[in-house]
Amino acid sequence: MQILPGHPPFDAFGRIRHFRADANAMQGGRRGRFPDGAVIVFDLLDARGAGAAVTDSARKVVGVMQRDAKRYAATGGWGFEGFKGDSRTERAVGADAAGACFACHAPQRDRDYVFSAWKD
């Protein structure tokens, strides 16, 4: 997925995203409902190049969603976190998951709060 200027979350999430999912998330993607334990990760990268060829560049953030209906009941059963740049410890979300992440995911309730959809 590529997010370009003009899209509302461009400043925060613009450019190129790579998605990764564990086996539970793959199962949930196929069924449209994610089981507890599912983990979805997106790697958000800047882009370089112009015209007909654009490649990824520096990492902006690594976003993580973890499904645990009881632990994260206030945010649709999902825990959210982001790690800045290439850091494995510098958190971008922290205690503000409801405002920083879930506010955007809430309209996706019918899709279990996930924007991406399974494609065969």
Residue 4 has pLDDT above 90, yes or no: no
Structural domain containing residue 95: 2-110
Would you place residue 18 in the very low, low, confident or very high pLDDT band (cuts 50, 70, 90)? confident
At residue 96, the pLDDT reads: 87
What was the pLDDT predicted at 56?
A: 83
Q: What is the CATH number of the domain that holds 15?
A: 3.50.70.20
| Sheet containing strand 53-67, strands side by side | 2-3, 15-21, 39-50, 53-67, 78-84
Tokens of 52: 């007909």
Q: How many domains are there within the chain? A: 1
- Structure confidence at residue 116 (pLDDT): 86
